[in-house]
Amino acid sequence: MASLRVSGVTVSFGGNRALDGVGMTAEPGRITGLIGPNGAGKSTLFDVATGLRRPSSGRVHLDGRDVTRMRPSARAKCGLARTFQRLELFGRLSVHDNLLVAAELGPERPRAAGVVKEILDRLGLTGLADTAPDTLPTGVGRLVEVGRALALRPKVLLLDEPAAGQDAEETERFAALLRSLADDGTAVVLVEHDMSLVMSVCDDVYVLDLGKVIAVGPPEVIRNDETVLAAYLGDA
Amino acid sequence: MDQFLTFGIVGLSTAAIYAVIGSGLVLTYTTTGVFNFAHGAAGMLSAFSYWQLTVGWGWPVPIALAVVLLLLAPAFGLLVERFILRPVQALGEAERLVMTVALLSGLIGVARWIWDPNVARPLPAFFDDRPPFHIGPAAVTWHQAITMAVAVAVAITLRLLLYRTRAGAEMRATVDDRALVGLTGADPVRANKAAWILGTQLAALGGILIAPTVTLDAAQLSLLIVSAYTAAVFGRLRSVPLTFIGAVVIGCTESYLTGYLPQNDYLPGLRLAAPALLLFIALLVFPHRRLRGRDRRLAPVPVPTARGTLVFAAATIAFGVVLASVLGEADLITYGPIFSLGIVALSYVPLTGYAGQISLCQLSMAGIGAVVWAHFGAHGQLWALGLAVLVAAVAGALIALPALRLSGVYLALGTAAFAVVLDRWIFTLPAFHVLGVEVALFDQGSVEVTGPSLFGLRLDSGEELMVLAAVCLALASVLVAALRRGRFGRRLIALRDSEAAYATLGGNLLFAKVLVFSLASGIAGLGGALYGMQQRAITPDQFNLIAGLPLFLVAVIGGLGAVGNGLFTGTALIGPTNALITLAPSLQNPVALLPALAGMGLGKNPDGIAAHFRHQWEPLGRDRIARTALLAWLATAWLLRLGDLIDGWTFLGGALVVAVALRTWASARQAPAAEPEIPVEWWGVRRDWRPEDEEVLARGVAAS
Ligand SMILES: Nc1ncnc2c1ncn2[C@@H]1O[C@H](COP(=O)(O)OP(=O)(O)OP(=O)(O)O)[C@@H](O)[C@H]1O
Ligand SMILES: [Mg+2]
């Protein structure tokens, strides 16, 4: 089983450091929360992990292998998958075909159709299989993104605000889904603004502020950490 | 040394013109976000107008200059802004691109219509009655001096205008952040107008300055702009000073190439192609912002059913057979390209429709196919057709590699440059040897083309070639439809919809792009070979950039995502225009403008009209009675035609009338009986529960 480890990652936009020597580890079978106020650098860290953005320094390891110089597609072949905060669905393909493209690129491509069917079922999207994703509300669109990532059968799964736009009941079901994924041995990284979800499902939580990790620990510790509270208050 | 200086002066004065034109381009691009392919054509039109006023009507030079620069050019810029670009401003980048390409094609048509291209129109240089003066050993003509002075004046004026006036501040504001312009109180529409006026004036100035040094030819002048584009790319389409530097580099390169390139058969074309080659290189070398932003709208890509595809293919072949049997030999040559150019147009469906790669060199790829067939298939060997497809596919793979670094306008520019390099240089080369194989092209003129032998049968008459082309179009359409239903088609669409998502799922962009470029070029090569056979002899002119523009425009109008677009484009491009010319030969010139006008109609019908057509004709296909009636009518009329009882026009006209009548009848019959509205809560109670209701509900719930 694979783990994701980033260390000392720095990214600058112009003079502005979006990430400043960030390190994080995600272990198989665990759900790692990544929280922080808006603009903290969470999505940028995902971009670095998946290879969409080159860090000016720092390393990314997947399953012990240094993948810092690998292209995004090569990292996907190592079992890394993600969703996007600003939806990146294939707008002209049906929901079903969105997942199919992923399944056909993944390790189970000979039985891609079966994989898609199973995942649509698991996420309760079967009724929407033939819809165009652009017509869906963003909450459902995010679920389709999760499904597409799952169709790759990832070992490391990065989720960027997947539950935004869901109601309480849907969130609960989503939490159960995350738990079952972790139980299957997937390393899950969850970026989320819904604190109750993060605190209830995560095994470890990283707190990012202004490009730096300001706290790491189990939810119950983070919940009562003064610096974390200050970071959020400073933001408000 | 003297020679070096002299060529340097020539280079600098050319550079001055490129700088003037290029800065106009940068100005409109930065302010309005539109890369204007017709920028050079505006300059061309101004040069012609200036010629008309001075030489044609004998007006004094200052008055003519004032009229063109202060009246005509601004008016033209405003018209373009209002009627051509504002309607598509809210649409995607591709639509804006199509508009200016249509404008380019249209302006060339207009100029050829007004000013007969067969008449020479010398334009005197400024102060050509005064002797040149000398700077050291080098002679400088007054025209050259004036040109350089104008460039300096333009540079100073632009600087003052952009940084010292309110209009300039607005234009710069629009550049920096379109969304914020409103907040700062600037008016984007006014800034756009100002940019179009000024940009067109700069193009006009450049056109008038360059015209005396070259022949006054619509296409040539419009393409002189390639050098100005290169200068603008040096400035990354944003910086006026860098554009000036780029212009100097290009002007001097061109001039020194003329001066120092050895004289032989292979290089004169290189001199002509040098600007395009430089453009190609500049595009690859200069880093530019990837236009990664997702387009607001992309052409829809309907999934054809297997049955629908087969019916369409059969109809295509039937259409070919019927046309072949009713048309005379001369008409067969005129209308044959419906199918062969239809195949070339079909290549846009996977390339641009699915994968979103804009290419302006598909007709050049067709040219490669044609020329390979002409030489290797001279005795009709069928394998040569495969070779033609293969060579075109390899050429396609070659442009795919630079295409990886380019997208949107940059890709369109790059492929246009490639088309120009092929047409001006490669296609004009005499035969040469590579690794012992003789590579012959157009033999510096035209080459004969013959038909293939199929199972010992020599296909060489117009009828046979038309049917062959129809069969090939049908097969190619089936292939593209299969692609759309299959894995590769899905991947192409996916990579266009989101490159980031496709890559993070493990998709290989390089592989997919190279493959789709070669596939599309192979299809275009096949079309080109068939086109060559039908034309009997081919010249490079038939495959140049300008000739390819109408094909691109009509294909876009047809809807790039629809498999039926090949037949649609071929028919729409070749059919009505030639029929009109046959009926009224005097319409030749206005008819040449039709594709451009259609292209400009894009704002009204951005999804393409091929799908719309399919929709309209579907009822006829579904209605058994109407379908049988139509087939029976067609068969009868066809027999009458074969028996020479009616002529071809009666046959086609009659078929059209009957088909439209039957379609109307069929759709009226199928119009659903109006059903009383039943509230959703009562579904399954007041009326039967239908399987599709479940989906409707699911969607409604999801949307709430
Ligand atoms: N393409 C970019 N160019 C310039 N700056 C950027 C770019 N992308 C992100 N940034 C900046 O980097 C910082 C981190 O952004 P990022 O999107 O990673 O934050 P985030 O933690 O995901 O925030 P949110 O909770 O709002 O999603 C922000 O200050 C943002 O403005
Ligand atoms: Mg984010």
Closest chain A C-alpha to B484 CA, distance in angstroms? 11
Cα Rg of chain B (Å, integer) = 28
Query: In this structure, are B169 and B106 located in the same domain?
Result: yes
A135–B contact, CB cutoff 8 A: yes
Q: Does residue B437 share a domain with residue B376?
A: yes
Does a structural domain hold residue A140?
yes
Considering chain B, what percentage of its residues have pLDDT values greater than 90?
Answer: 23
Domain with B465 in it: 306-584
- Expressed in angstroms and rounded, the spacing between residue A164 Cα and the centre of ligand 1 is 18
Say if residues B385 and B377 touch (Cβ distance below 8 Å).
yes
Comparing A236 with B185, which gets the higher pLDDT? B185
Q: How many other β-carbons are positioned within 10 Å of the β-carbon of residue B333? A: 16
Domain presence at residue A215 = yes
Question: Final residue of a domain: which of B543, B561, B584?
Answer: B584
CATH code for the domain of B37:
1.10.3470
Same domain (yes/no): A202, A102 = no
CATH number, domain of A163, equals 3.40.50.300
What does the angle CA A97 – CA A101 – CA A104 come to, to the nearest 5 degrees? 125
**Chain B residues with CB inside 8 Å of A89's CB?**
497-498, 501
For residue B501, give how far its alpha carbon lies from the nearest alpha carbon of chain A (Å): 6
Same domain, B493 and B577: yes
Same domain? For B112 and B203 the reply is: yes
CA distance B539 to B443: 9
- The pTM of this model reads 0.85
**Are residues B352 and B232 part of one domain?**
no
Say yes or no: B82 and B155 in one domain.
yes
Domain assignment of residue B551, yes or no: yes
Distance CA B609, CA B562 (A): 9
- CA nearest A75: which of A155, A181, A159? A155
Residue at which a domain ends, from A100, A120, A153? A153
- Asked if residue B20 belongs to a domain, the reply is yes
Could you tell me if A134 and A51 lie in one domain? no
Domain count within chain A? 2
Question: Both A49 and A163 in a single domain?
Answer: yes
Residue A108 and residue A224 in one domain: no
- Residues of B in Cβ contact (< 8 Å) with A167: none
Query: Residue A165: inside a domain, yes or no?
Result: yes
Q: Check whether residue A45 and residue A103 sit in a common domain.
A: no
Q: Are residues B209 and B313 in the same domain?
A: no
* B479 in any annotated domain: yes
This model of the complex carries an ipTM of: 0.94
Residues A158, A148: one domain?
no
Between A127, A136, A140, which is nearest B694 by CB?
A127
Q: Band the pLDDT of A236: cuts 50, 70, 90.
A: very low
> Are A102 and A133 contained in the same domain?
yes
Q: What is the pLDDT of residue B213?
A: 82
Taking only residues 233 to 262 of chain B, the set having a beta carbon closer than 8 angstroms to any beta carbon of chain A reads none
Model pLDDT, residue A49? 94
Q: Is A179 in the same domain as A223?
A: yes
The answer on A214 and A162 residing in a single domain is: yes
B67 is a domain residue: yes
Among the candidates B566, B584, B602, a domain finishes at: B584
Q: What is the pLDDT of residues A109-163, one digit of tens each?
A: 899 999 999 999 999 999 998 998 888 888 899 999 999 999 999 999 999 999 8
Contact between A148 and B501 using a beta-carbon 8 Å cutoff:
yes
Residues of A in contact with B502 (CB under 8 A): 90, 101
Q: Is residue B6 part of a domain?
A: yes
The verdict on B245 and B320 lying in the same domain is: no
Tell me the C-alpha distance between A204 and B219, whole Å.
67
pLDDT over 70 for what percent of chain A? Answer: 97
**Residues contacting A227, CB < 8 A, separation 6+:** A207, A214, A215
Q: Are residues B353 and B496 in the same domain?
A: yes
Instruction: Tell me whether residue B249 is in a domain.
Output: yes
**B36 and B102 both lie in a single domain:** yes
Say how many domains are in chain B. 2
pLDDT along chain B (704 residues), means of 10: 81 90 88 84 91 90 91 91 79 76 87 85 79 78 87 88 75 57 64 88 92 81 81 82 89 84 75 83 70 55 86 91 83 88 95 89 94 86 91 92 78 88 84 72 79 79 88 95 93 90 91 94 96 90 88 86 88 80 73 74 67 73 82 83 76 82 82 61 68 69 60
Domain end: A119, A153, A187, which one? A153
Tens of pLDDT, residue by residue over A13-68, are 888 889 999 999 999 999 999 999 988 999 999 999 999 999 999 999 999 899 99
| A144: enclosing H helix or E strand | helix A138-150
Of A73, A127, A136, the CB nearest to B506: A73
Report the residue of chain B nearest A109, measured CA to CA. Answer: B487
Whether B282 is in a domain gets the answer no
Q: Mutation target for A interface from B292, B297, B504: give the one with most A CBs within 10 A.
A: B504
Domain's final residue, options A115, A133, A153: A153
Domain that holds residue A117: 89-153
* Atom 29 (ligand 1) nearest CA: A39
Q: Is B306 on the interface with A (CB under 8 A)?
A: no
Q: Are residues A74 and A174 in the same domain?
A: yes
Alpha carbon nearest to ligand 1 atom 1, residue: A13
Answer positive or negative: Cα dihedral of B452, B458, B461, B467: negative
User: What residues have their beta carbon closer than 5 A to ion ligand 2?
Assistant: A 42-43, 85
- Looking at the fold, whether B418 and B505 belong to one and the same domain comes out as yes
Residue among B491, B503, B698 minimizing CB distance to A101: B491
Helices and strands in chain B: count of H runs, count of E runs: 31, 8
Give one DSSP letter per residue of B97-153, joined into a string. HHHHHHHHHHHHHHHHHHS-TTS----PPTTTTSPPEEETTEEE-HHHHHHHHHHHH
Specify whether A148 is located in the same domain as A158: no
Q: What angle do CA B143, B149, B151 make, to 5 degrees?
A: 105
B87/B171 same-domain check: yes
Q: Do A90 and B498 touch (CB under 8 A)?
A: yes
* Chain B residues in contact with A137 (beta carbon < 8 A): 702-703
List pLDDT tens digits, range A80-105. 999 999 889 998 999 999 999 999 99
Q: Residue B432 pairs with which residues in a beta bridge?
A: B439
DSSP string, B21-76: HHHHHHHHHHHH----TTHHHHHHHHHHHHHIIIIIT---HHHHHHIIIIIIHHHH
| Co-location of A74 and A10 in the same domain | yes
**CB pairs A-B closer than 8 Å:** 95
B134 touches chain A (CB under 8 A): no
List, for residues B351-409, the tens digit of each pLDDT value.
Answer: 988 988 888 999 999 999 999 998 888 887 888 899 999 999 999 998 888 777 777 77
- Domain end among B198, B229, B260: B260
Residue B420 belongs to a domain: yes
Does residue A84 lie within any of the structural domains?
no
Residues of A with CB below 8 A from B484's CB? none
Q: Is residue A2 included in any domain, yes or no?
A: yes
